[in-house]
Structure 1
Amino acid sequence: MKCKLCENNNLSTIYTVPNVPIFQNKVYATVSEAQNIMTGNVTLVMCSNCGFIFNADFDRNAMNYDAQYQNEQAHSLYFKKYLLELIDLFTEKKFHEMRIIEIGCGKGYFLEMLRKNGFDVTGFDPAYEGDSPYIVRDYYSEKYLHLNADLIVLRHTLEHIDAPLKFLRGIAHAVSSGAQIFIEVPSFEWILEKRAFWDIFYEHCNYFTFESIASLFQESEQGLLFNNQYMYLLADLSDLREQAAPANATLTNFEVSKMLELLRFCREFVQSHSGMLVWGAGAKGVTFASLTDPNRNYISSLVDINPEKQGRYIAKTGHSVISPAQLADFEGGDILVMNDNYYQEIQKQIKGRRFNLYTLGAIQ
């Protein structure tokens, strides 16, 4: 096996989790259906040359993003605020003067926000289910060269692509000379800092550090977003390298033992707070529940504000997903918030109710 960015064959295994759901963001109509989904292994390997980290056991042929896939975060006011901050960044970078193509635009929420704020943007997503005239239900390729894009926006897509450099090359061949690319991905540095075992899962086959994503381009600008959970890279597509350049491939603060220590602690916390709720039925919550309560003995349910997830069941464990309104059925209890960014928003929603609200950072 070789690195998918630089073709170096000196790879070392840094983290493994067997038998995990291949989709964290799919929900199911029955417990039985949820418990009988396909699973796979996460075997993270790191390249000693460019620092790229990827799941060596990822099978792209198993990934089918259909109507059961629910990853819309815009129901949260905090997340909407974040998207507005991102639009401010786009304005600061003068992207409103460019013809923009967003690849992997999902349900098109961010695209519609951009258009309402005066940006000229067209989206591409083969799994799109709506009827927007500004979204093409297709993969972006050279046949759309006539759109003359000045900027490609790639938000939370590259971490799902099995061959990321090949994918970027295809984009580079399908744009006019002088086009730029804006890439937003999760930050592996943040995962390391937080020992966030709940943020490593099958859907993400790639994990980027500042150095490894920068190694793809001769020159780039980078920054952090969403309280350091995400990072961005802005570069000219003409600066895309044929192979990733050597980079600082040492992860001085990555110790598997510390991540496993936190996992053991979280299992003990869940067991000592039987009947607790987990707020967030996205990838973080599903991964956390799968690793800390695989037999559904301790976590009562997961809470989520996305109506498409409510009344359904999460992959593998079959925990139910309830709405915030259903908390009225509880006399009180413990709630663990999966993403600290949403703590204050959730705190307001449960104000006056007898719940103890915890964050993952606070319980450690």
Structure 2
Amino acid sequence: MNFADPTLSAQAQGHAAGTACPNCGAGDTRLFYRVEGVPTNSCLLFETREEALGCKRGEISLHFCGGCGFIFNAGFDPDQTEYSDRYEETQGFSPTFSRFHRNLAVELVERHGLRGREVMEIGCGKGEFLVLLSQLGENRGVGVDPSAIPERLEGVPGAERVRLIPEYFEPGHCREEPDFLCCKMTLEHIPDTADFIATIRAGLTEANGTVVFFQVPETYRILQQCAFEDIYHEHCSYFTETSLRRLFEGCGFKVTRTAVEYDDQYLTIEALPSAARSRREDDPSVSEIAELVRTFPERVAAHRDHWRALVRDASAAGRRVVLWGSGSKAVSFLTSLGLAGEVDCVTDINPNRHHHFMPGTGHRIVPPDDLAAIEPGLIVVMNRIYKEEIADHVRNLGLTCDIACL
């Protein structure tokens, strides 16, 4: 794994300057964080260790736009990414996430009167959220996602009103305007953000008043907490409230609501089509983000050193180390820290991931119940919001071990 120098020289920054911002079009952005040789597909399921070790690799080259505060991976290569039925992203097997997901659906149904309405989701994954909207309001839903697996919804109550299209979104999928259009945890995978939002806006009219709801990872937290595990190749677009709002306002939407949710991990925005197009100037929050960006390389290097030492010390002491969570955070954690040899295995509550192998390092993903035989000395939890849920599971297995949370 090759890293840029944590203090990234002025010469290197100069060479990287000039890449245009895909969010606002500003021509002067600055490179501030680079990682090379990372897996380009963090959520693909690999059948063999050899296949996982031979996965496609690319680079992370984060640029910051001083105009709108947007951050993007200029090293993103769409030809190296794959979204197919091998892509396993669902979090619905977690009781913690399921409660959040249901509560979010309830709030949206109540706030926007979504009963008996036409709803659409771009990037619907396996369709769980559309089914919730159908169940709660007897809504009719269409979901578009190349990783969708329609068969998984067979026999699920409410799914009879949901149609999944396993394709990439195109304007033709939205010939008739829906009453509610949502896009959750997808925009961060889109490199040409302004073009994408403008395409959606072109298919909507003010008269119909379609409510648009987007959810993305919240980047202010990533910068502030040095959450390097939340930075990976296929997340090519990183938003704070400022850059997300400016994107929608600049593409012809009136923003009606923004919120930070799920332990400050998710940023949401709600908007309506509008004839007015506005761009905010001199937003003081951009300067605050710029300062976090300036100090990020040095701070994140120290943060990585802490976690590398924690895992290596445990391994050197003869304690078995297990990561809990096998998604993108775990792939980033393992490959960023170079800990392939010190981590014994990875576990995940999602049964669809069991007995597959982690991209980049080839770790086998085992069911949580297998940990009773493995007897870990240290479990590293990839997302601290699941700490109590995981601690309960560990106690029920009769295990006594240290649990450390990112």
Match of 1:6 among 18, 24, 36: 24
Q: In 1, are the aligned partners of 2:378 and 2:404 still within 8 Å (CA)? A: no
What is the deviation of 1:100? 1.7
Q: In 2, are the aligned partners of 1:188 and 1:208 still within 8 Å (CA)? A: yes
Match of 1:285 among 319, 323, 330: 330
Q: In 2, are the aligned partners of 1:217 and 1:240 still within 8 Å (CA)? A: no
Q: 1:359 to 1:145 in 2, by over 3 A?
A: same
Match of 2:201 in 1: 172
TM-score, normalised with respect to structure 1: 0.93
Single out whichever of 158-167 and 56-65 deviates more from structure 2. Answer: 56-65
The one-letter amino acid of 1:117's match is: L
Q: Map of 1:1-364 to 2, 5 A cutoff? A: 1-97=19-115, 98-118=117-137, 119-131=139-151, 134-177=163-206, 178-218=209-249, 219-220=254-255, 221-238=257-274, 241=277, 247=283, 248-250=285-287, 251=289, 252-254=291-293, 255=295, 256-274=297-315, 275-294=320-339, 296-352=340-396, 353-360=398-405
TM-score, normalised with respect to structure 2: 0.83
Q: 1:345 to 1:93 in 2, by over 3 A?
A: same
Single out whichever of 136-145 and 70-79 deviates more from structure 2. Answer: 136-145
RMSD (Å) for aligned C-alpha atoms:
2.0
| SS of match in other structure, 1:263 | helix
Q: In 2, are the aligned partners of 1:29 and 1:313 still within 8 Å (CA)? A: yes
Q: Which runs of 5+ in 2 are unaligned?
A: 1-18, 154-161
What is the deviation of 1:183? 0.7
- Supply the distance in 1 between the matched residues of 2:48 and 2:173 (Cα, whole angstroms): 41
The one-letter amino acid of 1:293's match is: G
What is the deviation of 1:63? 1.6
Single out whichever of 62-71 and 351-360 deviates more from structure 2. Answer: 351-360
Q: 1:245 to 1:355 in 2, by over 3 A?
A: farther
What is the deviation of 1:124? 1.7
Q: 1:262 to 1:22 in 2, by over 3 A?
A: same
What is the deviation of 1:29? 1.6
| SS of match in other structure, 2:223 | helix
What is the deviation of 1:146? 4.3
Deviation per CA, 1:148-184, whole angstroms, max 9, x where unpaired? 3122101001000111111111111223432231110
Q: 1:82 to 1:239 in 2, by over 3 A?
A: farther
Q: In 2, are the aligned partners of 1:123 and 1:136 still within 8 Å (CA)? A: yes
Count of matched residue positions in the alignment of Structure 1 and Structure 2: 360
- Supply the distance in 1 between the matched residues of 2:49 and 2:167 (Cα, whole angstroms): 33
Q: In 2, are the aligned partners of 1:107 and 1:129 still within 8 Å (CA)? A: yes
Deviation per CA, 1:58-101, whole angstroms, max 9, x where unpaired? 11122221222111110111110010110122033224145321
Tell me which of the two structures has the higher relative contact order, counting C-alpha pairs closer than 8 angstroms and 6 or more residues apart. 1
What is the deviation of 1:27? 2.6
- Supply the distance in 1 between the matched residues of 2:234 and 2:400 (Cα, whole angstroms): 32
Q: In 2, are the aligned partners of 1:7 and 1:243 still within 8 Å (CA)? A: no
| SS of match in other structure, 1:84 | helix
What is the deviation of 1:240? 7.8
The one-letter amino acid of 2:327's match is: G
- Supply the distance in 2 between the matched residues of 1:261 and 1:59 (Cα, whole angstroms): 29
| SS of match in other structure, 1:93 | helix
Deviation per CA, 1:283-310, whole angstroms, max 9, x where unpaired? 111111112234x211000110111211
The one-letter amino acid of 2:286's match is: A
Flag the structure with higher helix content: 2
Deviation per CA, 1:194-235, whole angstroms, max 9, x where unpaired? 211111001100000111101123342110111110010111
- Supply the distance in 2 between the matched residues of 1:144 and 1:316 (Cα, whole angstroms): 35
Q: In 2, are the aligned partners of 1:145 and 1:175 still within 8 Å (CA)? A: no
The one-letter amino acid of 1:186's match is: P
Q: In 1, are the aligned partners of 2:372 and 2:399 still within 8 Å (CA)? A: no
What is the deviation of 1:8? 0.9
